[in-house]
Structure 1
Amino acid sequence: MLPTLLPAATAAVETTRSTPFLMVTAVAAIAVLLVLIIKIKLHAFYALVVVSLLTAIAAGIPAADLVSTLTSGFGNTLSTVALLVGFGAVLGRIVETSGGARVLADTLLARFGEKRAPLALSVASLFYGFPIFLDAGFVVMLPIIFTVARRLRGSLMLYAMPAAGAFLMMHALVPPHPGPVAASSLLGADVGLVLVVGLLVGLPTWYVMGYRLALVLARRSPFLAVPETLGKPGGEGDQPRPSFGVILLVLLLPLVLIFCGTGSNTAVSNYGVDEDNPLVVVLQVIGSTPVALLITSLLAMLLLVVRPNRGKVGSRLEDLVDDALAPVCSIILITGAGGMFGRVLTETGIGGALADALQATGMPLVLAGFIIAIALRVAQGSATVAGTTAAGLLAPAVAADPSQGGFQLACLVVAITAGAITFSHVNDSGFWLVGRFLQLDTTTTLKTWSVIATGIGFMAFALVWVLYAVAS
């Protein structure tokens, strides 16, 4: 039997409903949301807000806490997503209109060949997604994906889904992304070992589920033309195209800055470096993802707009930013509303109730972590929250079992984060982010993005369970 786990986290807002009623309410809410969006064609932003409000009322959240629960979920999501999407969209628009996206696309196609263009984009996303969050990385890669799709006149799905699969795998399984790092901290696992296990499991998982499965699903989907999500194509005019080296600098700079921030945090936590050291403070600031993207987008303006035009830009910079931000405002609002819905489901205590039900089954730790993470993921949407909460619930059981070695702990972390990425659906902000940037309807997003996410989670778990068993 499993040792006693932590009690289920109590809801921040106390409700008077029974656990079965809350679970039925959650299922009904998701069903109503899908009907509103798919059948009635109500805009996703309105549908998410309306269903969030009705779910909160049905779940018994007190009237005094109702509005604060909704707005906190909305605001907390926007606090992490809005800047990433905004700066990422501006950076992507500058890369596209300067001709940089075409330069990078030409280089990738020359190296891999046109027939392997989806693989080229997926590999590029794999490397780019190592230190940078899925939200920001995917947005920055979009103009390159769009340019390749326009040039080859193929369905956008063939090029976007393999790239999205690569970003998703890296975000889910590999430090320094927040889910694996937080779970490692709670379980006392070595982050370096988690990185090794994450790559051992993640690379074959990416190739099979993130790339091959994505291609299969893309080919089965209707033809998808390149949308004008980031503005209309073109805009290069008579401006000379930038060199490949300049574009590479612009794309790699966020990675370098974020690595610097991660390295400084590691030095403080593991090697006793003074956190008030001026160099550490600077590295932590410039290494945060929003600041790294801010710095990079400003540098892109200088190198790709101001310098080629010898400073004679007039209102062009302002127009570029407006053109980049206008199309993504709807995406940002929908993403925030998805966070609102997830927060309502979290506040009802549904996830904790599901975890409590699973802890009494006596299953192995690695399987318990995976299933609890799935339950939390389905209940509230956030992969990071699901992985962190599942790790917290398992922490007492891990501490009570001295047989868990360093490699086993690393496997347990990856098993939890694998469960936390499965079954992405309408309460996941990433679901709306990717779907709306590609202009996919909700049904198509469920048939592609959700299936890829679930495939990545289950294959990663199968592989890590083998490693865990060998190490036991």
Structure 2
Amino acid sequence: MDPITPVHGTGVLLLIAAGAVALLLVLIMKLRLHAFVSLVLVSTLTAVVAGIPVADVPDALLAGFGGTLGAVALLVGFGVMLGRLLEVTGGAQVLADTLIGRFGEQRAPFALGVAALLFGFPIFFDAGLVVFLPIIFTVARRFGGSLILYAFPAAGAFAAMHAIVPPHPGPVAATVALGGDVGVGLLVGLPVAVVAWFVGSYLYARWIGRRIVVDVPTLLFGEENDATAADAPRPSFPLVLGLLLLPMGLIALNTVLSTLVDSGVLTATATVDTVRLVGETPIALLITLLTAIAVIGSRVGSVGEVTGVLDAALGPICTIILITGAGGMFGGVLRTSGIGTAMTDSLGDLGMPVLLQAFVIATLLRVSQGSATVALTTTAGLISPLVASEGLGDFRIALVVIAIAAGATVLSHVNDSGFWLVSRFFGMDEKQTLRTWTVMETTLGLSAFVLAVLLWPVAAAVGA
């Protein structure tokens, strides 16, 4: 649903947004009302108070809820089934053992993060995280300590790659809007994302993981897997790695073809569209799941027993999907209310250097309406005239995109569906998630922004 024409001024809209977030936190953290019920209730109240016509409130609610479910439900469903299959056949243990054997016990969190950086190059944050969950949980159970020590390096790697590095859609769309070169954006964004991950995610996880203990949840994959280990041989490392690389390869193919078609290098034909369909994330995960059933399902037992394992994996994620969808509903209401439109109109000329202006606007949009993608693309469109007027080269445009992505990453909180996804996957309550995930996203974004600032004189010196 498109944003309405704001009926309140920017200041009033921001107060409404702040009041809605405060009310939500009180309902969930103080009154202990279920998060799903709280999100729907606050979304409805916010829509009415913000001036969305009463007749349009149901559409506004369902647009955010349905849009988020459409993006998340299939990924989470197929991903969790694949993860459960890897778990019960011992595939996750094989991959974990191999990683630890190569990197050593002390570097287990680093190994998970590096693996996630590689897998995160073409795959979206939520899809990558779901597929990696059994590996993260297996390593965490083996060595003990807080789950944060193992989960955040991997989750932060997926977040960094998704926000900063082409061919992910956010940085690609921003680069195109600013008139830059996607190839240069990749060459600049990749090392920045890796360094920002190391400082803002990996080092932070080592620090906070020793101060806040989060136990490995049993909701998704149960306790330690002993059921099939004694009855059937575990799959080989190459086989497990191949299953994880299969969706990565399919999605990468889709991304490359889409980029070539959008840039005019390749013409969209029936064949090209068919290949792109195979590489759509839900389809790629479905193909991977079917392949896993075919090649390792026999280790579980009959087809009926495999179906029972997959069916059991779906039950626990209903709460996760519904709460994530409700989080998308809340963010969607904030966008529909016109908060983003009012803010961008009022922030059109801040009189700041372009790099700082990009970061500030993206941060304000991220905090006010939750969606990192909306914050990234809206900010790029807003500052594109300024970038054009300053005649920036491709190198500096890439740094502006990184500054926008940094602002669109910081301060993930209750109006961000990703906040709820992480909270429920890792078994953390809202207070723990704010103290850990929100801070990690902020340190990650700030690290990327600082790197862009440090590289800006270098780009200016070479005239790029």
TM-score (norm 2): 0.95
The one of 344, 353, 358 equivalent to 1:364 is: 353
2:120 match? 129
Tell me which residue corresponds to 1:320. Answer: 309
Q: Which amino acid aligns with 1:411?
A: L
Contact 2:258 2:276 in 1 (8 A): yes
Measured after TM superposition, the shift of residue 13 of structure 1 is 2.5
Per-residue CA deviation, residues 213-246 of structure 1 (Å, 9 max, x unaligned), is 1111111103424433234442325021000010
| Deviations 1:24-67 (CA, angstroms, capped at 9, x unpaired) | 11111000111111111111111111100011111111111010
Contact kept? 1:352, 1:376, Cα under 8 Å: no
- Tell me the distance in 2 between the aligned counterparts of 1:26 and 1:198: 32
Q: How does 1:268-279 map to 2 (within 5 A)?
A: 268-270=261-263, 272-278=265-271
Aligned to 1:378, which of 367, 382, 407? 367
Residue segments in structure 1 that go unaligned for 5+ positions in a row: 1-9
What is the distance in 1 between the residues matched to 2:436 and 2:169?
25
Task: Go from structure 1 to structure 2 and tell me whether the alpha carbon gap of 1:464 and 1:15 turns closer, same or farther (over 3 Å shift).
Answer: closer
The percent of aligned pairs where both chains have the same amino acid is 53
Number of the residue aligned with 1:297: 289
Q: What is the CA RMSD across the aligned residues, in angstroms?
A: 1.6
- Structure 2 residue aligned with 1:399: 388
Contact 2:216 2:427 in 1 (8 A): no
- What per-residue deviation string (whole Å, max 9, x for no partner) do you get for residues 2-35 of structure 1? xxxxxxxx96333422322211111110001111
Q: For residue 144 of structure 1, what is the amino acid of its counterpart?
A: I
Q: Which moved more, 1:35-44 or 1:222-231?
A: 222-231
Deviations, residues 313-343 of structure 1 (Å, cap 9, x unaligned): 1411221221111111111111100010001
Is 1:258 the equivalent of 2:215? no
Contact kept, 8 Å, 2:324 with 2:418, in 1: the verdict is yes
Matched, 1:159 2:150: yes
Letter in 2 for 1:397: L
What does residue 85 of structure 1 align with? 76
Within a 5 Å distance, the mapping from 1:148-297 to structure 2 comes to 148-234=139-225, 235-237=227-229, 238-270=231-263, 272-278=265-271, 280-297=272-289
Alignment partner of 1:50 is 2:50: no
Counterpart for residue 5 of structure 2: 14
| Alpha-carbon distance change, 16 to 271 in structure 1, aligned in 2, over 3 angstroms | closer
CA distance in 2 between partners of 1:215 and 1:226 (Å): 20
Cα 1:271–1:178, aligned 2, differ >3 Å: closer, same or farther? closer
Which deviations, in whole Å up to 9, do the C-alpha atoms of 1:122-144 show, x marking residues without a partner?
A: 11111111111110111111101
Q: Secondary structure at the match of 1:400?
A: helix
Q: Measure, in 2, the Cα distance between the counterparts of 1:412 and 1:331.
A: 35
Name whichever of 344-353 and 64-73 sits farther off: 344-353
Q: Which residue of 1 aligns with 2:56?
A: 65
**Maintained 8 Å contact 1:231/1:327:** no
The answer to whether residue 36 in structure 2 is matched with residue 36 in structure 1 is no
- Kept in 2, the 8 Å contact 1:231–1:323? The answer is no
Q: Check the 8 A contact 2:6/2:339 in 1, yes or no.
A: no
| Cα separation, 2, equivalents of 1:57 and 1:230 | 40
Which residues of 2 match residues 94-105 of structure 1 at below 5 A?
Answer: 94-105=85-96
Q: Decide whether the 8 Å contact of 2:348 with 2:382 is kept in 1.
A: no
Does residue 334 of structure 2 align to residue 345 of structure 1?
Answer: yes
Normalised by the length of structure 1, the TM-score is: 0.94
> How many pairs were matched up?
458
**SS in structure 1 of the partner of residue 375 of structure 2:** helix
Once the 2 structures are TM-superposed, how far is the Cα of residue 273 of structure 1 from its aligned partner? 2.1
Quick check: 1:91–1:297 contact (8 Å CA) kept in 2? yes
Structure 2, unaligned runs of 5 or more = none
Q: State the distance in 2 between where 1:16 and 1:193 align.
A: 42
2:450 paired with 1:459: no
Is the CA contact 1:13–1:65 (under 8 Å) kept in the aligned structure 2? no
Which SS does the other structure have where 1:45 is aligned? helix
Once the two structures are superposed, what CA deviation does each residue of 1:132-190 show, in whole Å capped at 9, x if it has no partner? 11101111111011111112232222111121111111111111222111111211211
